[in-house]
Structure 1
């Protein structure tokens, strides 16, 4: 299923992303792990997969362009993109700074958009690809103190819906 695939996972150093990376590392694939922090799970590196690790701040488009250009030069395409990176910050709305709001939106929503924008350009010429955008139950039910996080994850749901329509003609789903 994942053998001989080129798979990108953002947010690969923490929680869910690390678990995804560990699971996918069991396959004979090229596993491209992206996070702000180094990936420190030894099980991932002692696996069947070829691991390629990138430290990228998803708030900075130039860093996203740089790592996606590197992927293009090494692999020419990507089979699967898993947008999992997230920044969690909790404060009630009346105490939430605009700087923290912006950081949550920049990492969670804008980062997902930018990584998808550049990686989908590697999928389109091959007329195939899979994109998985990780959201949260907070997008639907909300979390007290998590207005920015909940809003960013709701944005990902809307983004994913339109993305499916826009990329369907290229067999990317």
Structure 2
């Protein structure tokens, strides 16, 4: 199979398991992460050991709104096509909503709403 899945927030928790499952099914993996570089590198090594060249990593902060075009250009350059997009990345806080500052709300909005919209929009171009 020569299909590729792009998973945002793919280095840890459920994103990691999604990457592994698609890899088992024969997909190439583009694993996005922001600050989980150690986990991302471990996952990439594990998957590439099973099938060389089958997992690429891409680091990006979803809050850097003005850098999305370059980010997506880089994503598109990794494999011939992207067949599936899984917008898994998210920001979350364990504190009550009334404790949020405006900057916290901006981070949540960019990661959980604007980011998936922009990624989906730029990928279809």
**Contact conserved, 2:8 with 2:87, CA < 8 A, in 1?**
yes
**Contact conserved, 2:6 with 2:85, CA < 8 A, in 1?**
yes
Aligned residue for 2:7?
9
Unaligned 5+ runs, structure 1: 122-173
TM-aligned CA distance change 1:7 to 1:111, over 3 Å: same
Output the CA distance in 1 between the equivalents of 2:49 and 2:97. Answer: 44
After TM superposition, the runs of 4+ consecutive aligned structure 1 residues lying more than 6 A away are none
RMSD: 2.0
Aligned residue for 1:70?
74
Give TM-score scaled by structure 2 length. Answer: 0.82
TM-aligned CA distance change 1:67 to 1:93, over 3 Å: closer
Q: Deviations over 1:67-122 (max 9, x none)?
A: 3212334445311100000111132232221111111111111111111111122x
TM-aligned CA distance change 1:73 to 1:93, over 3 Å: closer
Cα shift at 1:6: 1.6
Output the CA distance in 2 between the equivalents of 1:15 and 1:8. Answer: 16
Q: Deviations over 1:143-163 (max 9, x none)?
A: xxxxxxxxxxxxxxxxxxxxx
Aligned residue for 1:32?
30
From 46, 50, 66, the equivalent of 2:49 is 46
**Contact conserved, 2:29 with 2:56, CA < 8 A, in 1?**
yes
Give TM-score scaled by structure 1 length. Answer: 0.61
